Structure 1
């Protein structure tokens, strides 16, 4: 999640800015006050680097506490016990930051759950994904309930069923029993102690990754003046198109942008394609050993029918996310991912600008 950009509210009073800077420099108050102070400084047009130089709060730390504070405010609205509220008032910003991908209701339930089990942020980071995926299901699996504990228990139940190594299987069963909230979930997991059947889960489909390899694969975007006959004023009204790396995106003074995509068949078959820019590591099931680089995700908004061989764009906590499921999902489908485009690799860009030399 990126830094929160300053809003359109009036700039804070200069004296207030200096007071906040001094308070942050001295680490006065709670982390919630620090986060609110950072947001006020952003509204005063201070950059994250300037805030760092004035207070010692690194940009990555500013981002973490600001996002965590937003999560905290959302779970307060959803409802939080007095014990949990007292705890998160004073500590736990790193833990709350990991809950940012969940819905408001799930954030509150998982926050309570983390305190109950004494979880650290690293553990929570690994467990929020099963909770998020569980929320996509149309109905709960037999024996498992609605709580985050059962969602996590179901995750370990599935993993255990896939293992034929008894040591690995036992470890996963123990994890499932540790987190299960309901008796039904415990009973489902305990059946694995006597049922050693190995059930291999359907593997996630391969991400449709492509890379531009040649200069001709990246067409240049040219603005259209209109239909002849045209006037000089028509010509002057056309904005200058300045492509931006790495995908040749073009912005203009209006509210939008164009981007060049090769005319591959999968693009032509899309009825309503739109592009989303993201980082490769933000993709689901992206190979851990692969390089993290900017990618362009093409989504066909007209294709909203679930299929088990594709990834789909859905909304989670009012944020767009890509998701794959081997069974129909309950969350509304906003479009199908038809293409993920990597930037082209050119070893010598100046070479492509040189005129061709032909031997006589």
Structure 2
């Protein structure tokens, strides 16, 4: 199989396959046209969005660099993925020019604070050019209110990017796609089928509402030894000049094969099953002594503490949080040394270490989830 491609003649089937898959993803967002490319991960997709947004506002930056444009301002929530910071650093915008917008108790960006931060940036003589909202934050699984944020972006003429790398696959579900209401108003979207849909790594799409060739103009170098202008076929199929990579792996094939095998209905059932199993696990946690939800799950991120018998009823003690924060790391160490399980944990804000379970594997059963909770009790009962 061809492992790299940049022109239509090298891999015509894969070029057409990518066209079909990207078109279908854009339709799920709610766009009739648009553009896009498969990228090596959501972080790169977010960086593409930032670069294209900068070019959209200041096309001269491609030739003249950042010296020819004003100081730029990026806006994202306190819960956003770290790739926004990395993108600002990588593109020469600077992490000091990333304005972190406040979130509510559920981890969702507050639109009023976004507008406040945009006005603050203007007062500091920066140019607000890029807002990145998150649909499915990494820890809590929060969905920013896209429709409300779109109003703010429209008012200030700021590019709206939706980082739906994690939560984008909820668009396949009629029952849960409301979580992304307003996403059709975005200028760009990052979506990783290799996350919730379990497509093989790597499979990440960068999607654009623009149909004018903005992606091509932003990244093209027009190398005549690859992208000749007198070819006999439509040069729009030479996708290599739309990317910073040139040659790419055929990431679209994985999703195309999965979609053909399962159908749209099958993928919807996979998404709905993940939500249902998360709900089952949350309900089981509520029934068990010593288990405590950090937050009621909106998505499939399930965050919880296990409180061992020695700490129950000790919430008022001055060292309670300190001791509770040591529980998850100790249980994690025990489960890995035993070889029974592996699950992540982390602190979050003023919350001490808690477990974060995400159930996406379509082969997982309720029995597996029961074992998961039972094993935590066994490993932590003497702490």
Verify same fold: TM over 0.5: no
Q: TM-score, normalised by structure 1?
A: 0.24
Q: Which has the higher strand share?
A: 2
Q: Which has the higher contact order (CA 8 A, sep 6+)?
A: 2
Q: Which has the larger radius of gyration?
A: 1
Q: TM-score, normalised by structure 2?
A: 0.23
